[in-house]
């Protein structure tokens, strides 16, 4: 059933191609989901800001639904004392057995480092947290955060450098994200109970509003039309340079780069947390490829 669906999804993928590879306008491509008073769109919709104060946070979501894509967004995070504040950027489907690919930026006290918290849910199951320090100050400038999601793998990139990969291990019985369409979301909210130094440092509201900025959203993606019941991607597109990402794997030099970045910057890895999984680490942690 699931195998059949995957085959179908791949056939659909190849059945009609358009795509949204344009560096878009937030006005055209997104809906505000929450806290309208706390969202601004500037420069004809090319720049979007989300703010948080004691009354509300805010968020947006893409109008399009995707089934696979390479998504880039440039983000500049809340400067100064951002303790307790989380800025999130993620792909998600809906429902109890949803799939989700998460990047959450955990704020900190002035001068202390942000953490980039990542997680992956497949068929409603997450618990796959990995956290990273960044090798730059993410509040000083915009940096590019990317998600590659294709039938083989999910990878996270920071300024083009891969930091994490989750492979399709369906053949080993681990559910993969390949039969539910996802939208792209952005949001900012208060998470003082857990985000900063394990929840010890709370949000200091005298510094509010807290504002993060987003620009240059690019979705080189297969757009799902629910009215037509099909994807914008088609077979011949898979062999074109624009769609190389659909069959992309991480070559060995890219894997080396990732390994060295992880050695330097990883802050937490569920795959190393034996205490948390006394019955044994999740299966995907034990499969080396
Ligand atoms: C997706 O596949 C899983 C099994 O891998 C199945 O449980 C689920 O019902 C499928 N969802 C849809 C929408 O087909
Ligand atoms: C905040 O700074 C402290 C001290 O440098 C560090 O331990 C922590 O990992 C940083 N990040 C977060 C989100 O707590
Ligand atoms: C909150 O920030 C204000 C001004 O930035 C500062 O004076 C105050 O001491 C801070 N409060 C706490 C609890 O750190």
CA of 204 to the centre of ligand 3 (A): 6
Whole-model pTM?
Answer: 0.90
CA of 151 to the centre of ligand 1 (A): 15
As a whole-number percent, the residues of the chain with pLDDT over 90 amount to: 86
| pLDDT, position 23 | 60
Question: Which of 15-19, 72-76, 90-94, 131-135 shows the lowest per-residue confidence on average (mean pLDDT)?
Answer: 15-19
| HSE toward the beta carbon, residue 3, CA cutoff 13 A | 5
d(CA 169, CA 78): 37
Q: How large is the average pLDDT for residues 59-76?
A: 97
Q: Which residues line ligand 2 (CB under 6 A)?
A: 106, 108, 112-113, 115, 195-197
| pLDDT for residue 8 is more than 70 | no
| pLDDT, position 242 | 86
pLDDT in tens, 207-244: 999 999 999 999 999 999 999 999 999 877 778 888 99
The residue whose CB lies within 8 Å of the most ligand 2 atoms, and thus the one to mutate among 80, 115, 134, is: 115
How does the average pLDDT of the chain come out, rounded? 92
d(CA 74, CA 182): 20
Residues identified as active-site: 100, 104
The radius of gyration of the chain from alpha carbons, rounded to an integer in Å, stands at 19
| pLDDT for residue 82 is more than 80 | yes
| pLDDT, position 201 | 97
Label residues 233-249 b or e (16+ Cβ within 10 Å = b). bbeebbeeeebebbeee
The residue whose CB lies within 8 Å of the most ligand 1 atoms, and thus the one to mutate among 123, 125, 170, 174, is: 123
pLDDT band at 25 (very low <50, low <70, confident <90, very high): confident
d(CA 86, CA 116): 10
| pLDDT, position 12 | 41
Q: How large is the average pLDDT for residues 248-271?
A: 97
Q: List the structure tokens of 284.
A: 């995907």
Q: Which domains does the chain show, CATH number per domain? A: 19-286 (2.60.120.200)
């Amino acid at each position: 059933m699931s195998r059949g669906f995957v085959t179908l999804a791949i056939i659909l993928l190849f059945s009609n191609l358009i795509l949204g590879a344009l560096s878009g306008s937030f006005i055209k491509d997104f809906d505000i989901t929450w806290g309208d008073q706390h969202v601004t769109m500037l420069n004809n919709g090319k720049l979007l800001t989300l703010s948080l104060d004691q009354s509300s946070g805010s968020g947006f979501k893409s109008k399009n639904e995707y089934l696979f894509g390479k998504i880039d967004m440039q983000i500049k995070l809340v400067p100064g004392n951002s303790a307790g504040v989380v800025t999130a950027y993620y792909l998600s489907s809906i429902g109890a057995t949803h799939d989700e690919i998460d990047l959450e930026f955990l704020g900190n006290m002035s001068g202390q480092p942000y953490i980039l918290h990542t997680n992956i849910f497949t068929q409603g199951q997450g618990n796959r947290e990995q956290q990273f320090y960044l090798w730059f100050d993410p509040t000083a400038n915009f940096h590019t955060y990317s998600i590659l999601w294709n039938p083989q793998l999910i990878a996270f990139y920071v300024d083009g450098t891969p930091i994490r990969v989750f492979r399709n291990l369906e053949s080993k019985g681990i559910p993969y994200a390949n039969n539910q369409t996802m939208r792209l979301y952005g949001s900012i909210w208060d998470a003082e109970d857990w985000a900063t130094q394990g929840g010890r440092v709370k949000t200091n509201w005298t510094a509010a509003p807290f504002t993060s900025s987003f620009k240059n959203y690019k979705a080189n993606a297969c757009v799902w039309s629910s009215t037509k019941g099909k994807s914008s991607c088609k077979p011949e597109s898979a062999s074109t340079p624009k769609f190389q990402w659909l069959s992309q794997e991480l070559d060995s030099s890219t894997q080396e780069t990732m390994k060295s970045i992880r050695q330097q910057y990883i802050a937490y890895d569920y795959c190393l947390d034996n205490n948390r999984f006394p019955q044994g680490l999740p299966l995907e942690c034990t499969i080396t490829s």
